[in-house]
Amino acid sequence: MDATLLEKAIAYIRSLFQNRGDGHDVEHTLRVYRNALEIAKSYPKTDLTLVSLGALLHDVDDHKLFQTKNNENARAFLESQDLDQAMIDRVLEIISGVSFSQNKGRVPSSLEGKIVQDADRLDAIGAIGITRAFAYGGKKDRSMEETLRHFDEKLLLLKDLMNTDAAREMAERRHAFMVEFLDELKKERGE
């Protein structure tokens, strides 16, 4: 991938996500990007430009964070970079396929889309996933019980929803850590 394009994408996400403390921040985006590149290593035919841009821009139009329509933040960035329309359309398709709540079980059609969706889901589980769940719950004034319900409704399901073998392997350890954490929490709460 063009290093200058990558630097511009990172600068763009830094500007959009500055001062966020709810688990949807620059650090989350960069972890998703690193997860995606790690998964992509197992799939040599992967288009790394698509994976990189999809991962870096995956939350720039998230309905929980922005009041945008039709991926306008991602589209504006991509169109400003002299990319051809086919590349822009493919990146936007990847971005549109990432969200758990918006896609309700739909699997992305491209390998690159599957990789980015898996990379985002990996960041929702394990130790990072636990901290992000409570950070987001706190930001939304959710009780501990409401946040814990999120584990049953989403986070504990993600391991079995991974699209790629590489992500499934990565998810196993993270899932086991979440289960161990929740078991310990129940013991400490006297349940």
Structural domains for the chain: 3-188 (1.10.3210.10)
pLDDT of residue 63: 84
Residue 73 has pLDDT above 80, yes or no: yes
Tens digits of residue pLDDT in 11-28? 999 999 988 777 788 999
Listed range (46-50, 89-93, 106-110, 182-186) with the worst mean pLDDT: 106-110
pLDDT of residue 2: 87
Q: Which of 19, 6, 174 is nearest to 81 (CA)?
A: 6
Contact between 56 and 170 under an 8 Å Cβ cutoff? The reply is no
pTM, entire model: 0.94
Q: Distance between CA atoms of 47 and 53, rounded to whole angstroms?
A: 10
CA atoms within 13 A on the CB side of 1: 21
Token pair listed for 35:
């997860």
SS3 19: coil
Tens digits of residue pLDDT in 96-132? 988 776 767 789 999 999 999 999 999 999 999 999 9
| Mean pLDDT to the nearest integer, 154-175 | 97
Residue 191 has pLDDT above 80, yes or no: yes
pLDDT of residue 106: 85
Burial of 50 (0-12, 13-18, 19+ CB in 10 A): buried
Q: Distance between CA atoms of 47 and 1, rounded to whole angstroms?
A: 9
| Mean pLDDT to the nearest integer, 90-97 | 94
Residue 78 has pLDDT above 80, yes or no: yes
pLDDT of residue 105: 77
Percent of the chain residues topping a pLDDT of 90: 81
pLDDT of residue 103: 67
Residue 151 has pLDDT above 70, yes or no: yes
Share the mean pLDDT of the chain. 93
Q: Is the dihedral of CA 155, 163, 174, 11 positive or negative?
A: negative
pLDDT class for 64, splitting at 50, 70, 90? confident
